């Protein structure tokens, strides 16, 4: 069967559709301005006329890199670039996210060159730090050191790691479970420039199984500053090689069963035409980012941010694919890109349903209805609108013909009425098809009620419903001598529940049967 089309129309912008396994981005496209993420940024309160870059959290402190001389810090000058080297500082932060009082983090970890990004083991007893190489100040090597528990606040056993080589290793980040570390490197075998890699962390703190994160994450240029959320589902990082507003932009990509999918630029409320790096969350929807966005300077500042995720609303309608008749009582199961069921709902009497969702998530809508072939659709709200509408088509299954009956889904009538619903006419068209294909076939139309109400009334109601079904077939060309009808009321219940039937049981009691005459 050919894949059906999901027609989706945004009230303001179009929704981005994609097929399974297809990339959600193509080259040379216009980047949505907000992507549904509205960031508000503020000066973090620790910036100077030189450079400040965020790097990691340790205990109740935030660690930053700065090349401004503070207190007893010794800021050396790189003789090759004639620029001040960065030192590692720790700063305090208050409940509003303001940073203050930078002090040198550790004199023992301070080298004569540039200090780079750091990260910590899950128990925070091991630090992984980067330092510039003496022979090439633009390249960094990765080291580890352990916390000396007897000498509080001191680090010991500083040693380079075996994964170092004739390349740079930068911006390390420890995964949330402490079993995997992420970093940027220009080692050979990548996709160009600096790529993001992961490595497994052994019990002794050494690293093994270095793995490139692949072409969905990496580009032909540079990717740096990885940050993985606590649930291991999202990787945030900076890239100047994907679709950017200029320089390094912050991207988010989803990690699903070991694969990276659905890369998204976070939009211009957080990104600028300069560089945005070192993105990290501190609390829910709050965090820090470093940027050189100021027009009058090339150095980096640290900004705190607050994130407001703009809720996306999707209003759908389920229709039969040929006649476009609205289909009530269709089951709609909505899953996110991780396979989590977000919501299960049922289309109303007009075939409509409504959903609330997050922007930039690859959603799956699985739609099913008795008598119809189930269908699955994929879509992604582009985040530039907050309201979308769409139509989902379902194709009818053929009637099942046994030796004794023609079996279709249940026939529905309005409550306490004998008028066929529009969707029931679609179902009866299956009976028409069978009868037309089998001109010698004759059938009995038997209508039944549920267990509620008085017997005499139910008998009369079911008789009239059987007659309505009979009349529909007659009016569509079936000869009267091939048809007979009868109402049975509640005399032949499928479920005898003594007044305690569930709605599902009662719906099966309310039925119309098509029995083949022998």
How confident is the model over 142-180, as pLDDT tens digits? 999 999 877 776 899 999 999 999 999 999 999 999 999
Q: CATH topology for 400-516?
A: 60s Ribosomal Protein L30; Chain: A; (3.30.1330)
pLDDT at res. 138? 87
Beta strands in 67-139 (DSSP E): 77-78, 83-84, 87-93, 99-104, 115-120, 126-132
What is the CATH architecture of 7-15+311-396?
A: Sandwich (2.60)
Question: Could you tell me which residues come within 8 angstroms of residue 73 by beta carbon, excluding any fewer than 6 positions away?
Answer: 87, 89, 104, 110
Where helices occur in 206-298 by DSSP H, the ranges are: none
- From first CA to last CA, the distance across the chain in angstroms is 36
Collect the ranges in the chain with pLDDT lower than 70. Answer: 1-34, 70-75, 80-81, 153, 297
Sheet holding 115-120, edge to edge: 115-120, 126-132, 140-148, 154-160
pTM: 0.84
> Options 3.50.50.60, 3.40.50.300, 1.10.238.10, 2.120.10.30; which CATH number does 37-309 get?
2.120.10.30
Q: Nearest-CA neighbor of 246 among 268, 224, 226, 262?
A: 268
pLDDT at res. 297? 65
Q: Based on the number of CB atoms within 10 Å of its own CB, is 186 exposed (0-12), middle (13-18) or buried (19 or more)?
A: middle
Count of Cβ atoms closer than 10 Å to residue 151 Cβ: 10
pLDDT at res. 153? 65
Q: How far is CA 406 from CA 267, 487, 495, in A?
A: 56, 18, 21
The CATH 2.60.40.1120 portion of the chain extends over 7-15+311-396
Q: Nearest-CA neighbor of 38 among 358, 432, 491?
A: 358
Q: Nearest-CA neighbor of 409 among 392, 421, 397, 422?
A: 397
CA dihedral of residues 131, 135, 137, 139 (deg, nearest 10): -70
pLDDT in tens, 13-60: 233 332 222 222 223 334 555 678 999 999 999 999 889 999 999 998
Q: Nearest-CA neighbor of 39 among 366, 357, 272?
A: 272
pLDDT at res. 73? 59
């Amino acid at each position: 069967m050919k894949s059906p089309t999901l027609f989706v129309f945004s009230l303001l912008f179009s929704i981005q559709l994609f097929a399974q396994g297809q990339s959600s981005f193509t080259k040379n496209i216009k980047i949505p301005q907000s992507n549904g993420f509205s960031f508000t940024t503020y000066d973090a309160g620790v910036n100077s006329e030189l450079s400040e870059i965020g790097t990691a959290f340790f205990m109740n402190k935030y660690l930053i890199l700065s090349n401004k001389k503070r207190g007893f810090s010794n800021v050396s000058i790189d003789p090759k670039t004639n620029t001040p080297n960065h030192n590692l500082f720790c700063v305090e932060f208050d409940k509003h996210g303001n940073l203050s009082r930078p002090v040198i983090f550790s004199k023992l970890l301070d080298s004569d060159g540039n200090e780079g990004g750091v990260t910590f083991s899950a128990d925070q007893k091991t630090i992984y730090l980067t330092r510039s190489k003496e022979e090439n100040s633009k390249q960094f090597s990765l080291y580890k050191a352990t916390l000396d528990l007897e000498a509080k606040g001191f680090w010991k056993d500083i040693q380079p790691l075996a994964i170092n080589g004739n390349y740079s290793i930068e911006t390390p980040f420890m995964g949330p479970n402490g079993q995997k570390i992420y970093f940027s490197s220009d080692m050979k075998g990548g996709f160009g420039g600096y790529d993001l890699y992961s490595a497994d962390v052994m019990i002794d703190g050494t690293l093994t199984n270095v793995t490139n994160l692949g072409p969905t994450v990496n580009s032909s240029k540079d990717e740096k500053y990885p940050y993985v959320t606590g649930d291991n589902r999202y990787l945030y990082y900076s890239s100047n090689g994907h679709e950017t507003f200029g320089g390094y932009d912050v991207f988010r990509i989803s990690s699903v069963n070991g694969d990276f999918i659905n890369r998204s630029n976070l939009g211009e409320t957080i990104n600028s035409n300069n560089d945005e790096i070192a993105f990290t969350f501190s609390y829910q929807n709050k965090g820090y980012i470093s940027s050189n966005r100021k027009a009058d300077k090339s150095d980096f500042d640290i900004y705190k941010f607050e994130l407001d995720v703009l809720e996306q609303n999707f209003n759908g309608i389920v229709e039969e694919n040929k006649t476009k008749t609205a289909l009530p009582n269709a089951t709609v199961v909505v899953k996110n890109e991780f396979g989590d069921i977000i919501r299960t709902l049922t289309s109303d009497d007009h075939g409509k349903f409504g959903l609330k969702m997050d922007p930039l998530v690859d959603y799956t809508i699985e739609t099913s209805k008795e008598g119809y072939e189930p269908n699955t659709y994929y879509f992604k709200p582009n985040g530039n609108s907050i309201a979308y509408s769409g139509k989902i088509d379902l194709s009818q299954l053929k009637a099942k013909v046994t030796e004794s009956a023609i079996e279709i889904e249940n026939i529905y009538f309005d409550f306490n009425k004998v008028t066929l619903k529009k969707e029931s006419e679609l179902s009866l068209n299956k009976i028409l098809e069978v009868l037309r294909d089998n001109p010698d076939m004759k059938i009995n139309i038997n209508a039944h009620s549920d267990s509620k109400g008085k017997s005499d009334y139910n008998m009369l109601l079911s008789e009239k419903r059987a007659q309505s079904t009979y009349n529909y077939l007659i009016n569509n060309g079936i000869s009267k001598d091939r048809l007979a009808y009868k109402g049975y009321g509640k005399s032949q219940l499928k479920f005898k529940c003594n007044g305690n039937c569930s709605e599902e049981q009662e719906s099966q009691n309310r039925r119309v049967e098509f029995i083949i005459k022998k």
